[in-house]
Structure 1
Amino acid sequence: MLEKIIHKFFGSKPETPVPQSPPIMDRPIIFSDESIVQILLDRKTQTRRALRKQPKFSICPLPASPSGYAYTEADDQPKRHVPGCPYGKVGDRLWVREWWTTEHRAFDGEPSENFRAQVTSHSERLYYRSDSPDIRDSRYWRNPIFMPRWASRLELEITAVRLERLHDISCADVLAEGCHGSDWHEYAELWDHLNARRGFDWESNPWVWVLEFRRV
C-alpha cells in the first residue's frame, strides 16, 4: 500500500545508472620486418616501447594516476602522474604498420615471382617487405608511417600493460619478444638496433611500456 502511495505522488524510483565501460580504441603501431615475421608465427606476444620523457629519479605505482603510475624528480619532490600509455589500455586494438607497396609502385603493374601479394578488402593487390626479405631496394617500398588503416593486415588486442625498467625483462619475456632463445643478449642487440640512435640504448636502462598482446 505504501509503495502505491509513493508511486502515485512521486512517480517511479529512478533507476541506478549503469557504469559505462571505456570505449575500445584503435591505434596504429609500427613493427620491424623481423617482428612482423614473429607475430605471424605467433611467437611474438610482447613489445617494449621507451617512455618519451624519462623520469630523472624513479617511478612508483599510483592507482589514482591515469596510467596507474607516478614519478618523482627527487626524494623531497611531490609525485607527478605519469600520463596514460600512448598505445592504449587492456582491450584496445592496435593495427600494425609495416613496410609495404602496391603492385603499380613495385614493378609498374607487371607481376613478379619475387613478390608475395596480399589482397585487401579494397581489392587492391598489396605487398609487404617482411614477406620478401631478399628485396630491400627502397625504391619499391613505402615507409610504414604512410600506411593507411585499410592497408594493414595485422590487428592486435592489448592483453596487459605495465611500466618497468628495460633490464627487468625476464627469460620468459625474451621469448615472448620473439627471440630465438631466452638469452637477453640477443634482445639487447635487437633493442639497440632499433632504439640506440633515438637515445634509448640498452646500457641506459630506460623506463619502457610493456605491451602484451594477441593476434585478432
Structure 2
Amino acid sequence: MKKIMFNDKYSLTQAVLDGKKTVTRRIANPATDKQISFGNVNKEWYEDEEGKVYIPSYEIGEVIAISQNYKDAGYDGHSTFGDSFSIKSLPGWSNKMFVKAEYMPHHIKITAIRLEPLQDILEEDCLKEGVMFDDTIECYYHLEKGRQNGLSITAKSCFSELIDKVSSSGIWKSNPFVWVYEFELID
C-alpha cells in the first residue's frame, strides 16, 4: 500500500480527515524512457501536445494511507509493532515521512484523475483543495498554523498563495502540469 502526505503547517491533513479537502494537485513531471518501458505498460498514462508522456502516481480505485506521525495517528509511546522496538524510539514517532503505510489508521480512495495546467483550477475546485470562505468577512482564506491566512476576495487567488507556500514559491506563476487526484475519505 502507498501513502500520501498532506501539509500539516497549513492544516491540510486535518482538512482531509474532516472531509473538507477532497482533491489534491501534485506536480506532474514527464516520464523518463525507463518509466515508460519498465512496468508501466498497463498503467493509464497521458500525452501532451509536445508528445511528453505523464504517468500518474496513483490509479482510480486505489486505496492510499494518509501519512501521520505515529503520535498523531493515536499510538501511545509504549506500543510496539511486533519487533519489540518501542514505537516512541522510531523516527516515525514525530515525523510522518518515516511511517509505514500499513500502520496508518486513515485512508483515501482515488475516484478520478486528470492532468491539467495548474492555473486551470476553477473557483469551486479551490474549495475542495483546502481553501475556505468566511461568511462574516466575506473573504476566502486558508489556514496556517491553525490561523486564517491568505485573505482574498477570490478562492483562486487564495489557492495560488497556498500552492506557492506548500509546493514552492513561484510554482503558480510557472503554471506546470499537475495531476488532479479526486478522492474520498474511507476511514
Amino acid at match of 2:3: P
Do 1:66 and 1:83's aligned partners in 2 also have CA atoms closer than 8 Å? no
TM-score (norm 2): 0.66
**Structure 1 residue corresponding to 2:109, chosen from 157, 160, 176:** 157
**Structure 2 residue corresponding to 1:47, chosen from 24, 35, 46:** 24
Secondary structure at 1:196's aligned position in 2?
coil
Do 2:73 and 2:104's aligned partners in 1 also have CA atoms closer than 8 Å? no
User: Which protein has the larger Cα radius of gyration, Structure 1 or Structure 2?
Assistant: 1
Q: Report the CA distance between 1:140 and its aligned residue.
A: 10
Higher relative CO (Cα under 8 Å, sequence separation at least 6) belongs to 2
Which residue does 1:97 correspond to in 2? 67
Q: Report the CA distance between 1:36 and its aligned residue.
A: 1.1
Instruction: For 1:58-137, list aligned pairs within 5 A.
Output: 66-73=43-50, 79-80=51-52, 82-86=53-57, 88-98=58-68, 100-102=69-71, 118-119=74-75, 124=79
Cα deviation code 1:79-135 (max 9, x no counterpart): 35x24211x21101111113x244xxxxxxxxxxxxx77249xx939xxxxxxxxxx
Which residue does 1:183 correspond to in 2? 155
Change (3 A) 1:70 1:140: closer
Secondary structure at 2:166's aligned position in 1?
helix
Do 2:21 and 2:130's aligned partners in 1 also have CA atoms closer than 8 Å? yes
Instruction: For 1:161-172, list aligned pairs within 5 A.
Output: 161-172=113-124
Which residue does 1:18 correspond to in 2? none
Do 2:110 and 2:182's aligned partners in 1 also have CA atoms closer than 8 Å? yes
Take 1:28 and 1:150, find their aligned partners in 2: how far apart are those partners? 9
Q: Report the CA distance between 1:163 and its aligned residue.
A: 0.2
Unaligned runs of 5+ in 2: 32-40, 81-90, 134-153
Secondary structure at 2:105's aligned position in 1?
coil
TM-score (norm 1): 0.58
Q: Report the CA distance between 1:68 and its aligned residue.
A: 4.3
Q: Report the CA distance between 1:72 and its aligned residue.
A: 4.6
Consecutive aligned runs of 4 or more in structure 1 exceeding 4 Å deviation: none
Take 1:209 and 1:83, find their aligned partners in 2: how far apart are those partners? 9
